[in-house]
Structure 1
Amino acid sequence: MSRRRSRVMNEKFKEELAKDLGFYETVESKGWKGIRAEDAGNMVKRAVEMAKQGLVEGQYKK
C-alpha cells in the first residue's frame, strides 16, 4: 500500500516561518534539506501554535 503525502504547509507559509525563526538564510543557500531537525521541529511547533490561535486563516492560500 502506498503512502500519500499531503502538503499541509505551502511554500510561502514555510518561508515566513523560517524568516520568523531566523533560519531562512539556510533555506535560501542550502534548501529545505539543509535545515537542522531542531529548526524543522520549531517550525512545526510554531505552525501548530498559530493554527490554534486562528492566525493562519486564509493568509497563505496558494
Structure 2
Amino acid sequence: MSKRSQNTMSEGLKQQIAQELGFGDTVRQEGFGAVSSRDCGNMVKMAIQMAERNMLQ
C-alpha cells in the first residue's frame, strides 16, 4: 500500500476543521467531493497549523 492511500487525518478531525471553516454542512450533506479545491487547501493549512501548535506544547 502506498503512503498516498493512507489517511493521516481522522474523519472526526476533517469534520471539525470543515465546520470551523464554514462548510461542515456541505460535507455532511454531499461529502468532501462537493468541497472546492480552495477549501480543501484551507483545511490542509489549518491541519498543519494545528499540528505545529501541538508540537510546540
TM normalised by structure 1 equals 0.79
Q: Secondary structure at the match of 2:9?
A: coil
Any unmatched runs of 5+ in structure 1?
56-62
Q: How large is the RMSD of aligned CA atoms in angstroms?
A: 1.6
Q: Detail structure 1 runs of 4+ shifted over 6 Å in the superposition.
A: none
Runs (5+) with no aligned partner, structure 2: none
Higher helix residue share: 2
Aligned mates of 1:43, 1:33 — CA distance in 2: 14
Percent identity reads 35
Higher RCO, 1 vs 2 (CA within 8 Å, ≥6 residues apart): 1
2:40 alignment counterpart: 40
